[in-house]
Amino acid sequence: MEFLLAFLLCIALVYFMYSAWEWKRREQMLRRIIQASPLPTFVIRKDHRVLYWNAAMEKLSGIKAEAVIGTDQQWRAFYREQRPCVADLIVDGGIDTAPQWYSEKLRKARLVDEAIEDVVFIPEIGDRGKWFRFTAAAIRDSRGEMFGAVETTEDVTEEKQAIEELIRIKKHESLGDFAGGVAKDFDSLMSAVLRNIFLAKLVASDEDKMMEEGLATAERAGLQAKELAHQLITFAKGGYSQRKMESVVPLLREAIECYKSRSDIRWNISIPEDIWPVEMDSMQIRQVIENIVNNGLQAMPEGGTMDIGAECVTIGEKNPLSLRPGRYVKISIKDGGAGVRKEDLSRVFDPYFKAKTTGGRKGLGLGLSICYSILKHHNGTIAVESEWGQGTTFSLFLPAEADPSQKAHSDS
């Protein structure tokens, strides 16, 4: 009997040692898998304390694993103040409270039960903030009891910007087709109206001052209406351009001289003379530059700083601006105004869009929409960056002359 009891105890001890060894082996395997993941990943226990923090997470956050494992400070990787990460919502079962911290788009993942995901803009990361897709899922033991959660992070900034740019392009194409058709008909009708006003002025009696003033007012309104029609055509088709290869440097300097009378503006100019030539309609591009500069000055009614620069850049295959790869001239115009709120940035190029507050601007009208259209029809684009209270930067991209060395190589 004693021998049997001792034998059973030995078996139990061996089983226990094997189970412990197997558990340790599996834990090491799990650690290696998480560590090898290219996605920033961390795991928390049910008490919110960090269990794993992989190398990609270290690189993203700048926080070493030893500084955060065993603590509940995982939020420091993304936020300035303590708030729950998506994994924290999972272990608390507090998905219903998610809208307090995350967007209403936070939803259950399609492929994994008890997993949720959201795309969030975090202004604290990077120079101008970044978009991240957070995905978190519950971790349960063999008995089905939750003992923690895993969260992965994916930088989707370029993807988000590319989607927004594509939506903007499609929106402008649709509006442009409509506006172009209406503008042509409207222009023809106003031409007929103006011709009849002219004839009426010829036959009107010189003594009838009221008739003369009324016809003059109608003529002015008709000319303004034709100008609006021409603006709509420019918005729709980029205008009737006559392009040739030339430098943007004279255009920039002329635009600056037009507004140098503002003594309350401090100008920071960085325009190298050896900027690559671009194929452009100089009248249209000058209109774009002056419009953007004037827009910035309106944002600073009490004065401030205006930065204007130009540089040569090379755009690669994958870029958030949806530009063709190649050589470009980039023109940057930054004002020191109130800036544009994050929720309004994607709409600043919409016709007649007016933000809740325009930072001193008198209304955006068709101005920025026309700038966008002209640059698009030059095979370039315009981008905007802004932070509320810290001004706005418009970046203009124009395709530059091909590299002479590559051209000579291809000709040979």
Query: DSSP string of 240-264?
Result: ----EEE-SHHHHHHHHHHTTT-TT
User: Which token pair is 412?
Assistant: 């040979």
- Residue 92 · residue 84 · CB < 8 Å: yes
Query: Taken in order 44, 45, 49, 53, is the CA torsion positive or negative?
Result: negative
Distance CA 292, CA 281 (A): 17
- Residue 324 · residue 391 · CB < 8 Å: no
Q: Amino acid identity of 19?
A: S
User: HSE (CB half, 13 Å, CA atoms) of 17?
Assistant: 6
pLDDT at 36: 66
Collapsing DSSP states into helix, strand and coil, what is residue 10?
helix
pLDDT at 331: 96
User: Which token pair is 277?
Assistant: 């030539």
- Cβ partners under 8 Å of residue 217, min gap 6: none
Q: Amino acid identity of 144?
A: G
Phi, psi of 33 (to 5 degrees): -65, -50
Q: How far is CA 237 from CA 9, 175, 325, in A?
A: 88, 11, 23
Q: At what angle do helices 282-298 and 367-377 cross, to 10 degrees?
A: 150
User: HSE (CB half, 13 Å, CA atoms) of 181?
Assistant: 5
- Residue 48 · residue 83 · CB < 8 Å: no
pLDDT at 227: 63
Quick one: how many helices (H) and strands (E) in the chain? 10, 13
Q: How far apart are the first and last CA of the chain?
A: 98
pLDDT at 306: 92
- Residue 379 · residue 397 · CB < 8 Å: no
The residues with which 314 forms a beta bridge, in sequence order, are 327
Distance CA 404, CA 244 (A): 17
Q: At what angle do helices 282-298 and 249-258 cross, to 10 degrees?
A: 40
- Residue 139 · residue 34 · CB < 8 Å: no
Collapsing DSSP states into helix, strand and coil, what is residue 311?
strand
pLDDT at 329: 96
Q: Indicate the Cα dihedral angle 45, 47, 53, 56, nearest 10°.
A: 100
Q: Which residue reads 């309004």 in tokens? A: 344
Distance CA 317, CA 332 (A): 22
99 burial level (CB within 10 Å; 0-12, 13-18, 19+): exposed
pLDDT at 103: 62
What tens-digit pLDDT sequence spans the chain (412 residues)?
A: 554 444 445 555 554 554 444 445 555 666 666 666 778 999 998 899 998 898 888 888 889 989 998 999 998 888 888 888 888 888 887 666 566 667 656 667 666 666 788 888 887 776 667 888 888 888 887 778 888 888 888 888 877 777 776 666 666 665 555 555 566 656 666 676 777 777 777 766 666 667 777 777 777 776 666 666 655 655 555 555 678 899 999 999 988 888 888 889 999 999 998 999 999 888 888 888 988 998 899 889 888 999 999 999 999 887 778 888 999 999 999 999 888 877 677 778 776 666 554 444 444 455 787 788 888 888 899 988 888 888 999 999 999 987 655 544 444 4
Distance CA 122, CA 85 (A): 12
Distance CA 42, CA 231 (A): 54
pLDDT at 312: 95
